[in-house]
Amino acid sequence: MRGSIDGLGSSAPISMMLPAVFADDDLAQRFVGGLDEVLAPVHSVLDCLDTYFRPSLAPLDFAQWLGSWVGAETEGTEPEPLLRAAVAAAAYLHRIRGTRRGLAEAVRLAFGVEPEITESGGASWSARPLGPFPGEPRPALQVHLRLPDPTPADRYRLDTLVAAARPAHMPYTVRVTAADPADDADSAVPAERTPER
């Protein structure tokens, strides 16, 4: 929360702007001194306003608010470095939204871990017309995330994130497992689910 800071000096004291006749007037000096204390945080914010719009430098509560301006995919429960990175990358992510790279980057920014993404699409070229289509005829998207200590909340968060960042027509499945491959069978969080969309 923005607020007053005890002992913060004003960068533009009002007493220095008063006519000379009030320079020796104790009541006038104390009166404008009180106003200086109230206005000092305003001057401080205005003096460094550009830093409020840099997610890496802005106060945490302002960075969260800034995230709502730019449509960052955050819940507010992320660690501070991940939150700041997600807010900083929001505009870039909107440009690549719906692509494999955009989905991978959104998941990486939310969890701090690179996901394994498998999709049914493909691309190829041929010098001859009427060649076979690349990829599979039925669209599908699978996102697998390996976390050190997965919880059901991580799976729900991944499901929500993939639903928002995937191509709109693409059915998907998500899976969250423990980071150690030997523990995958024992530590898998609830089974895959394919939403009907």
Q: How many CB atoms lie within 10 A of CB 68?
A: 11
Whole-model pTM: value is: 0.62
pLDDT in tens, 167-197: 888 899 999 998 875 544 444 444 344 444 4
Give 3's pLDDT tier (boundaries 50, 70, 90). low
Give 141's pLDDT tier (boundaries 50, 70, 90). very high
Task: Report helix, strand or coil for 89.
Answer: helix
Distance between CA atoms of residues 58 and 52, nearest Å: 4
pLDDT at 165: 87
pLDDT in tens, 70-113: 888 887 778 899 889 989 999 898 898 888 899 999 999 888 89
pLDDT in tens, 104-137: 999 998 888 999 999 887 777 788 888 777 778 8
Q: Which helix (H) or strand (E) holds 47?
A: helix 26-47
C-alpha 141: how far from its chain's center? 23
Under the phi-then-psi rule, with left for phi > 0, alpha for psi from -120 to 50, and beta for the rest, what region is 21? alpha
